[in-house]
Amino acid sequence: MTAMGGSDLNLSDAELKQIVDDWRAASPNIVRLWWDTDRAAKKAVKEKCVTETHGLTFSCESGFLFITLPSGRRLAYVKPKIGENKFGGEAITYEGTGTAKKWERLETYGPKLVENIVQGIARDLLVHSMQTLSEYKITGHVHDELIIECEKNKSVSGICDGMALTPEWAEGLMLRADGYECKKFYMKD
């Protein structure tokens, strides 16, 4: 909470911790996903085996920890090892670019891995939408938005329907898209 501006709320550390604890208690499925992911990744690193949880596959191959996403695309962590975190517990460490923009050993754990996984799946969904709408002139994308230049007779709702098509690998995921028109240049809705 402090890193995200919690100190600006003029709350004590105990009050900030209570907010976090209350959120976690209200979100048990997310918390379970974090720690199931943590266990599966650690087991893959320790035992050099393949593990699975929540539709994700974890494997160590050729000096990489791979997380296979539902789309089949893989996230890669270089030279994974089990190390010790700042609290004295086990953590996965890997080589990557740190805050100083230099190659260094980084630490990760379940919630951070889930953040990477969610971002990866969101990217895969956006790419699926881009492929679905490939007949249009896609001039850019910003986070989860597509910027399309097209004739005035094209329907915004038709484009939104195309973006909301669920890929086979995400069967059961309910997608929805909103859109808007701008006359001459891109702007936020």
Per-residue model confidence (pLDDT) at position 152: 86
pLDDT for the residue 32: 98
pTM across the whole model = 0.89
Q: How far apart are CA 170 and CA 186, in angstroms?
A: 30
First-to-last CA distance in the chain? 29
Q: What are the residue ranges spanned by the domains of the chain?
A: 6-114, 133-189
Give pLDDT, residue 189: 67
Residue pLDDT tens, the chain, 189 long:
777 777 778 888 888 889 999 999 999 999 999 999 999 999 999 999 999 999 999 999 999 999 999 999 999 999 999 999 989 999 999 999 999 999 999 999 999 999 999 999 999 999 999 999 999 999 999 888 999 999 888 999 999 999 999 999 999 999 999 998 887 777 776
Neighbours of 69 (CB within 10 A): 20
In 3D space, the residue among 129, 88, 128, 96 whose CA is nearest the CA of residue 112 turns out to be 96
Scan for tokens 């709702």, then name that residue. Answer: 157
- In the 8-state DSSP scheme, what is residue 6? G
